[in-house]
Amino acid sequence: MKKYLAEFIGTFFLVLTIGCTGIPAAPGVIPPLAIGAVLMVMVYAGGHVSGGHYNPAVTLAAWVRGRSNTRDAIAYWLSQLLAGAVAALVVGYMVGNGKPMHVTAVGPAFLGELLFTFALAYVVLSTATVKSTAGNSYFGLAIGMTVMSGAFAVGPISGGAFNPAVAVGIGIMRLVEVGDLWIHVVADLLGGAAAGLVFRILNPDDQ
């Protein structure tokens, strides 16, 4: 239960920060910076307990890579998705709902989500699960910076979720059209699975 609670807490604060910085549109607020920063600190806070996934796509990558058993993977998914939904409800109470972004180019949005989810999951696997980097102190920063970079790069195209739990949250917060959520869910899970497979190919001796 400790692992599942850690996943809930980290995912909750990630989605909460997305909503609280993305909906009010306060002058001087740059959402990608806050989002990358909160993910970084939550990875440092809970990584030693659960691995600091906070993302069903990352959990899928870890499962494909062989660092998560099926029971934990399912429980992580449930904790993450529940946290995304609860955080979205809290955001709605605190700052109201957003104005939905309509994805005008499905292909570019799908590709952007897939590529940066792949990058995120690949960075997680390569910094937090490899024998040669065990005990390192930079993995939280690397993970947070990957999300921040992705949000800057393709956020205007896709919404920049890179995370099915975030997709659930931004759907409830009305930051994206409900009909566009499949883009985030499918592309993000494909990106996570691909990262797990590529990691196994590149690291055959670290299984």
Ranges of each domain in the chain: 2-202
pLDDT reading at 207 higher than 90: no
Whether the predicted pLDDT of 26 surpasses 70: no
Single-letter residue type at 173:
M
Q: In sequence order, which ranges of the chain are alpha helices (DSSP H)?
A: 2-22, 31-50, 56-65, 70-95, 106-128, 139-158, 164-172, 181-202
Q: Pick the closest to residue 80 from 61, 56, 48 (CA basis).
A: 56
* Dist CA 51 CA 180 (whole Å): 30
Residue range 73-91, pLDDT digits in tens: 999 999 999 999 999 999 9
The neighbouring-strand residues paired with 176 are 101
Amino acid of residue 144: G
Homologous superfamily assigned to 2-202: Glycerol uptake facilitator protein. (1.20.1080.10)
Query: Contact 76/68 with Cβ under 8 angstroms?
Result: yes
pLDDT in tens, 106-155: 999 999 999 999 999 999 999 998 888 777 888 999 999 999 999 999 99
Which pTM was predicted? 0.95
